[in-house]
Amino acid sequence: MDYRALGLKVGLEIHQQLATHKLFCECPSRLSDEEGGIRFERRLRPTQSELGEVDAAAIEEARRHLSFVYEASENTCLVEADEEPPHHPNEEALDIALEISLLLGAKPVREVDFMRKLVIDGSNTSGFQRSALVAMDGAIHVNGKRIGVPTVLLEEDAARKVGESKDEVAYRLDRLGIPLVEIATTPDIQTPEEAREVALAIGSLLRATRKVMRGIGTIREDVNVSVRGGARCEIKGVQELRLIETFVQKEAERQLMLIEVATELRDRGAGTVPEDGVDLTHLFTGSPSKVVQSALKKGGKVLGWVLPKFAGLLKGKLGPELAAHARVAGVGGIFHSDELPAYGVTQAEVDAVRTALSLADQDTFVLVADEEAKGHHAIEEMRPRAVQAVRGVPEQTRDPRPDGTSVYSRPLPGKARMYPETDVPPLRIHEAHLRALAERLPERPEVTVPRLVKEYGIHEQQARQLAQEGSDDVFELIAHEFGEAKLVATVLLYNFSELRREGLDVDGIPEDHLRELFSLLKAQRFAKEAIPDLLRQMARKGVRASDAARAIGVQGMDLADVEKLVDEVLDASDDVVRSKGAAAEKTLMGRAMERLRGRADGKLVSEVVRSRLHARLEKKKEKGKEN
Ligand SMILES: [Zn+2]
C-alpha cells in the first residue's frame, strides 16, 4: 500500500518507567504478585475543568456506573491511596527526565510545575494523574529524517488493572506513582515501518541512559493514526514496540474501510437513524437461539432496531464498531441482519422481523437480546456511532489487541482536563545543574552501534538490536572479558528472545550470573549447545550457572570421555557401519550427539566420530584381506 499517497499520519506518545523510587513517595517502583490484604472501594464523578467544561471521555466513563476496588500491596503507602498528600517530588526522576530531554535536544523549562490531568477510568485513586512539562522542542533523527519531539513530560504511572466484572473494576496500587517519562512526537511519521523505526530509535535512546526500567510493561506507547479524510484515533497502551507497524497498518485499513462505507451510505441517501428499537420479543418466544433463550429466561426482551439503507455494510465493517458501543451499556453481543440467519436465529425469524419492521431491501436491522433497560441503553450508545458512519471516521481512543487490531474504548479526551496541582511545589531548574547533566550524558546509540561493529566484529544489525534492547552494556562487559563476541551477541539476542517467548524472565538474570555462564563455557565445563537449557534453568529458578549445570546434568566431558562414548555408539551401530561404510558418518554423528548434546562441543564430537569410524573401517578391511 502506498501510505504516503493515502496521507497517513502517525504520531507516537512513548511512556517509559524510570528506574528509581516512586514520584511522590518513597515506595519502591516494584510490582507485587501478592495483594497486601487491604482493599477499599471508590466511585468517581466527572467535574468541570477550570474552563468550565466537562470532558466527553469522563462523561462516558461515568455513564458506565462502575465502582473501583483497589488492592494495596507491600509496595504502597497512604500516598497511593490518596489518604496523604504527595511528598516532595523525586528529584532523581526529574534528573533522568532532564537527561532524556538533553539527549533529544529538547530545551528544559526553567520551572517544573505539576498539573492534575483528569482521569476517570479509576486508574488513579485521586481521579487525576500528576504530570509536568520538563522540556520542549526536541527531535529524533531516523534514516536522515527529523521527527519532532514537541514535549517531554514527567508523570506518575497509573494503577494496574487486575480484574473487571460487569459493574466493578479492580486495580492494584503497586504501579501507581512509578515515575514515567512521556515523549510525544509530531505526526510526521508517514508509513507503518517508519512508526516502528521511530519507536525503536526512541527506545534505544531511553535505554542508553541505563536509568529506565526494562521488561514487559515498562514501556508503553500510544499510537495516533489518521489517513486523509479519516480522523485521529489513538491506540492506547501498546506494549510491544515491534507490533507498532501492524497496529498502524490495521488502523489505516479500518479508516479506509470507514471512508468507503461513508461514501456508499451518502450515495444511498442514508442518514436518518431511528432513536430506539422496537420490542419484537413475541416473534422469538420459541427461538432455538441460545442467546435469545437465555435473555428471555431472565425476563429480558428482544429489541429490533432499524438501520435504513445500511444493508451489506455491517458484516466485517460497521458491525464490530456498533458491537463495541453496545458493550459500553454492558451488552455483550448483538445480531445484525447482514449475518443472519446464524447463531440459532432462523430464516423464518429473519423474515418475520423484516415484515414487522416493514424493511426495504437496502435496510438492515440489529437485534439486541438482553434485559430491557440494558437493551435500550445499548441502542442509545450505538445510535450516535451509526449516525457518524455517514460522515466517516469518528475520533476515538482504542484498546490494542494482541493480534495487532484494536477495539473502541472511549471518545478521545479533550483538552479541558488539566488544572494546577496545589499540593506539589514548583521545582526550579538551575543552569549549573543542567550544565553538569549535559557533561555526563551517555554515549548515543548512533555512536554506540558503529563502535560495537568495529570493536567486536559483530554484524551491524546485531549491534543495532543490542542497543535497541539496552543489552549493549552487558554484551560489552562479557565480550570484553571472555571474547567470543559473536556468540555472546547471539545468546543475548537470539536465545534470549526465544526464552522470552516461552514466558521466562531472562532479563531478570543478574549480570554476574551471565558472566559466570560464559566463564564456565570458556573453561569448557560444558559446550555452547547447552546454553539455552542452562539459561532456561537460570531464569526459572533464579540460580547461578554452576548450579544450573549441576541441576540439569550438564557437565563438561574431556576427550577420553567423548571417545569412550563414541565407541559405545559405534558398537551399538555395527549394522549401519557394515552396510554403509564411510557413508554412515552422518547417521553416527546424529546418534552420538543425542547423547552428547550440551556436554561436548559439536565440532569435537564430529572429529572423534570421523576418526573412530575410519579406524574401524580400516580394521575391517585388514580383516577381510586376512581371510
Ligand atoms: Zn507510597
At 452-464, the pLDDT tens digits run: 999 999 999 999 9
At 483-500, the pLDDT tens digits run: 889 999 999 999 999 998
**pLDDT of 342 over the 80 cut:** yes
- What's the mean pLDDT in 353-366? 95
* Amino acid 137: pLDDT: 98
**Distance from the CA of 610 to the center of ligand 1, in angstroms?**
66
**Distance from the CA of 533 to the center of ligand 1, in angstroms?**
39
At 547-565, the pLDDT tens digits run: 888 887 776 667 778 888 8
Cell numbers for 142:
531516523
- What's the mean pLDDT in 276-305? 93
- E-strand ranges in 176-240 read 179-184, 219-226, 233-238
**Distance from the CA of 301 to the center of ligand 1, in angstroms?**
49
**Distance from the CA of 78 to the center of ligand 1, in angstroms?**
6
* Amino acid 46: pLDDT: 65
**Distance from the CA of 417 to the center of ligand 1, in angstroms?**
25
In the structure, what pLDDT confidence band is assigned to residue 309 with cuts at 50, 70 and 90?
A: very high
The number of beta carbons lying within 10 Å of the beta carbon of residue 501 is 8
**pLDDT of 64 over the 70 cut:** no
Give me the residue label for grid cell 553416527.
588
**Distance from the CA of 171 to the center of ligand 1, in angstroms?**
15
Gyration radius of the chain's alpha carbons = 31
* Amino acid 138: pLDDT: 98
Q: Give the contacts of 433 (CB within 8 A, at least 6 positions apart).
A: none
**Distance from the CA of 118 to the center of ligand 1, in angstroms?**
21
Q: What is the distance between the alpha carbons of residues 289 and 292, in angstroms, rounded to a whole number?
A: 5
In the chain, what percentage of residues exceed pLDDT 90? 65
Mean pLDDT of the chain: 90
**Distance from the CA of 26 to the center of ligand 1, in angstroms?**
6
**Distance from the CA of 125 to the center of ligand 1, in angstroms?**
13
* Amino acid 564: pLDDT: 86
* Amino acid 50: pLDDT: 62
**Distance from the CA of 21 to the center of ligand 1, in angstroms?**
9
In the structure, what pLDDT confidence band is assigned to residue 417 with cuts at 50, 70 and 90?
A: confident
**Distance from the CA of 81 to the center of ligand 1, in angstroms?**
8
**Distance from the CA of 513 to the center of ligand 1, in angstroms?**
32
At 228-238, the pLDDT tens digits run: 999 999 999 99
In the chain, what percentage of residues exceed pLDDT 70? 95
- What's the mean pLDDT in 516-539? 88
- What's the mean pLDDT in 165-186? 92
**pLDDT of 34 over the 80 cut:** no
In the structure, what pLDDT confidence band is assigned to residue 48 with cuts at 50, 70 and 90?
A: low
pLDDT-wise least confident of 25-39, 61-75, 204-218, 303-317: 61-75
**pLDDT of 416 over the 70 cut:** no
- Say if pTM beats, i.e. exceeds, 0.95: no
- What's the mean pLDDT in 468-474? 88
**Distance from the CA of 25 to the center of ligand 1, in angstroms?**
5
**Distance from the CA of 37 to the center of ligand 1, in angstroms?**
16
- What's the mean pLDDT in 174-186? 97
* Amino acid 367: pLDDT: 96
**Distance from the CA of 153 to the center of ligand 1, in angstroms?**
21
Asked if residue 19 lies in contact with residue 211, where contact means CB atoms within 8 angstroms, the answer is yes
**Distance from the CA of 89 to the center of ligand 1, in angstroms?**
12
At 225-275, the pLDDT tens digits run: 999 999 999 999 998 887 899 999 999 999 999 999 999 999 999 989 999
User: Residue 9 forms beta bridges with which residues?
Assistant: 226
In the structure, what pLDDT confidence band is assigned to residue 524 with cuts at 50, 70 and 90?
A: confident
* Amino acid 202: pLDDT: 95
At 141-155, the pLDDT tens digits run: 999 999 999 999 999
Alpha helices in 269-405 (DSSP H): 290-297, 319-328, 347-356, 372-391
**Distance from the CA of 27 to the center of ligand 1, in angstroms?**
4
At 113-133, the pLDDT tens digits run: 999 998 878 899 998 999 999
Q: Give the contacts of 172 (CB within 8 A, at least 6 positions apart).
A: 31, 32, 35, 70, 71, 73, 159, 160, 162
**pLDDT of 54 over the 70 cut:** no
Cell numbers for 455:
570493536
* Amino acid 36: pLDDT: 64
In the structure, what pLDDT confidence band is assigned to residue 43 with cuts at 50, 70 and 90?
A: confident
Q: Give the contacts of 597 (CB within 8 A, at least 6 positions apart).
A: 527, 529, 530
Asked if residue 599 lies in contact with residue 554, where contact means CB atoms within 8 angstroms, the answer is yes
